Structure 1
Amino acid sequence: MKKRLITTFITLLAVIFLMSACGQESNKTSSAESGAGSGKDSGKPKVAVILKGLDQEYFKLAESGAKQAFKDFDVDGTFLAAPTQTDTEKLINILEDTINKNPDALVVMPSTEAQIPVLQRYREKNIPVLLIDTDLKWNEKTAYIGTDNYTAGKKAGEFLASKLSKGDKIAILEGVLGTEVSEQRVKGVKDIMKEKGIKIVASQAADFDRAKAVTATENILTSNPKIKGIFAANDEMAMGALKASDSRNLDIPIIGIDGTSDALESISNGKLTATVAQKPYDMGYKGVENALKAIKGESVNKKINSGIDVITKNNSAKKMVEVKDILGK
């Protein structure tokens, strides 16, 4: 009798344990579903924002803008990013996973043309696709929101040329080869240098990366010790070029593009010469804002220029306060 009672008691405990486990698993599943795609249930529009990287301050500024727009417009927003902007496959995988969650609109900062096939699948499902920061030669995009990179390159080139004389030699640090962003910025600089009679004696890719820019600049300066200036297609590379030139006690003008806080601080301290500041916060914010317009069927401009500012020592402190305020520093 006693054995039967013990057996019955153990059986009841097992049943209770299984019921409890099933209940917990059910709660987990429900929670995951509400977090991944509750827009239909909540009545809120679902907007996915996906960036090509999150390893630099520039991307964090775009993230801040998008997340602020989620709050301001009461959006069921999802934010995702590849670890680095050169991790093309990871970005494609994120895009493929997100399409299965059926967002109402996608705001994406792509890296290369390699993402076009998966972006086309969004359009086949009638999901608006808005590009920010990086434009693609793809007719199906709803809009491009970002910098006119050719103009940014020209502005950087004009400022650099103002520090030089006709016949001087400069070097260029390019970004990721084959990307529209890098190509357009470099083209803008090259056109200005040709106009001003300044010679470009070296142009090397450094993948928008600071460490790679140090190495590339060291190699360039070894081969071309009489260089009078450097243009870098982003601030990370400009800071790398500065480190390499400082190690040789070389005082030459170096111009970047982006407007990140460490570049602004360097300019304020009289080290880096200037930067052409982009507005990634505005890109992220306007990306979400215009995605909502597209969801509602409202007209969205095909190209929205987020604007640029040339930052020198005269206005770097003010810009630095603005950037640090966004980042909460």
Structure 2
Amino acid sequence: MKTKVLAVVLTGAMLAGCMAGCASSTNEKASEASESAVAAEVETAGEKDGAASGKKISVILKTTAAEYWQYVQAGCEAYAEKAGVTVEIKGASSETAYDEQLNMIETDVNSGAYDAIVIAPLQSDQVITQINGTKLPIIALDTDIDAPEVLSFVGTGNEAAAQLGAEAAVEAAKAAGWDEIKAIDIAGVQGDSTNTARMTGYQKGIEAAGGEFLADETQYADAVADKAVNSMEAIMQNHPEGIAIICANNDDMVMAAARTAKDNPAYENTIWLGFNGDRAACEAILAGEETMSVVQDAYGMGYKAVEAAVQALGGQKLDEFIDSGSWVIDKSNAQERLDDLKGLLD
């Protein structure tokens, strides 16, 4: 695995018209900041990585079956290679295999085989019990764990990121000719804190931009495409007139929803907003099968999580929250994002 740091520079207009100025300016500034941070990190890497050389870190992901988590894994491996540490990466068979993941966590915490553990919890509340009292450095990844044993949370500011995407979706809906802008969310796992944060962000963004978020009609699809199909069928039945915006907790679900509504003329101009911005989403956006996606830097998230674990092992004090960054892609910049992702999983 090559050691890489993903510094994505995505500029250009978000959409035609009123979206272009603010969105491209925001993304350009974020990209410049990312480049500077990466340059500083590379320059000082030798100073801070040596203390943990030879250590062994367990990384327990929500699953390893999805493309998103494969990018996280690649980032973890890249930093481990640079720092001279060993990472063992595992994950549950699905994002609802709660007991399976809890067993992994319990085993690794008590095995004595690891010097630190990175956890992307499926059920944060349950994980608190599993790590209670451990002296191992614990880093939360993707979803926070409210426990004193957790030194830092590395992930996306999900609420703010979703709000950014929702505001862009409203502007896109206006440009597509919608007079009445209503939005329905096809959500992930009910009660999951990441899912809740994205729902909250979507609602705030839709309403701030002048749309109506139909919170009472939220469809929970457990973060999987098959259930999103059923959710979309229910939405079409309840709204034969069409809905301006369908947002979802991830890209797989929104792509499945868009396919389900493909032959329904009332949904011809619907804005399909996903979350993650991985390769499949970029390809779908370029093919007209998804409108836009909120990108979270999965590779950078894994990279920074292992970096945080290494820094903790070296005695450094960590920030409570390490933001891996987010931005919005649409047809104007999806190809740039796709080009940046090429090679990360090689």
Could you state the TM-score of these two structures normalised by the residue count of structure 2?
A: 0.79
Contact 1:283-1:306 at 8 Å conserved across structures: yes
Identity within the alignment, %: 29
Residues in 1 aligned to 2:76 and 2:249: alpha-carbon distance in whole angstroms: 24
Where does 1:53-72 land on structure 2 (aligned, <5 Å)? 53-72=63-82
Unaligned segments of structure 2, at least 5 residues: 1-51
Contact 1:136-1:180 at 8 Å conserved across structures: no
Q: Is 1:177–2:187 an aligned residue pair?
A: no
Count of aligned pairs between the two proteins: 284
2:162 to 153, 164, 167: 153
1:267 to 261, 285, 295: 285
1:302 to 308, 320, 341: 320
Q: What is residue 294 of structure 2 aligned with on the other side? A: 276
Deviation at 1:43, TM superposition (A): 7.1
Deviation at 1:220, TM superposition (A): 0.9
Q: What is residue 8 of structure 1 aligned with on the other side? A: none
Q: What is residue 108 of structure 1 aligned with on the other side? A: 119
Q: What is residue 187 of structure 1 aligned with on the other side? A: 200
Return the letter of the residue paired with 2:287: N
Return the letter of the residue paired with 2:156: T
Q: What is residue 30 of structure 1 aligned with on the other side? A: none
Unaligned segments of structure 1, at least 5 residues: 1-41
Secondary structure (helix, strand or coil) at the match of 1:170 reads: strand
1:139–1:126 distance in 2 versus 1, CA, 3 Å: closer
Residues in 2 aligned to 1:98 and 1:111: alpha-carbon distance in whole angstroms: 16
Deviation at 1:100, TM superposition (A): 2.8
Larger radius of gyration: 1
What is the aligned-residue RMSD (CA, Å)?
1.6
Return the letter of the residue paired with 1:244: T
Secondary structure (helix, strand or coil) at the match of 2:218 reads: strand
Return the letter of the residue paired with 2:211: I
Secondary structure (helix, strand or coil) at the match of 2:172 reads: coil
Residues in 2 aligned to 1:222 and 1:299: alpha-carbon distance in whole angstroms: 53
Deviation at 1:240, TM superposition (A): 1.2
Contact 2:255-2:289 at 8 Å conserved across structures: no
Where does 1:120-269 land on structure 2 (aligned, <5 Å)? 120=132, 124-165=133-174, 167-201=180-214, 202-226=217-241, 227-249=243-265, 250-251=267-268, 252-269=270-287
Q: How big is each residue's C-alpha offset from its partner over 1:2-29, in whole Å with a ceiling of 9 and x where there is no partner?
A: xxxxxxxxxxxxxxxxxxxxxxxxxxxx
Return the letter of the residue paired with 1:233: N
Q: What is residue 293 of structure 1 aligned with on the other side? A: 311
Return the letter of the residue paired with 1:196: A
Return the letter of the residue paired with 2:310: L
Contact 2:180-2:244 at 8 Å conserved across structures: no
Q: How big is each residue's C-alpha offset from its partner over 1:213-239, in whole Å with a ceiling of 9 and x where there is no partner?
A: 111011111111221220111111111
Tell me which moved more, 190-199 or 82-91: 190-199
Residues in 1 aligned to 2:336 and 2:258: alpha-carbon distance in whole angstroms: 22
Contact 2:170-2:181 at 8 Å conserved across structures: no
1:119 to 105, 109, 131: 131
1:291–1:241 distance in 2 versus 1, CA, 3 Å: same
Return the letter of the residue paired with 1:256: G
Residues in 2 aligned to 1:54 and 1:209: alpha-carbon distance in whole angstroms: 14
Contact 2:53-2:84 at 8 Å conserved across structures: no
Contact 1:167-1:197 at 8 Å conserved across structures: no
Contact 2:189-2:195 at 8 Å conserved across structures: yes
Could you state the TM-score of these two structures normalised by the residue count of structure 1?
A: 0.82
Q: What is residue 23 of structure 2 aligned with on the other side? A: none
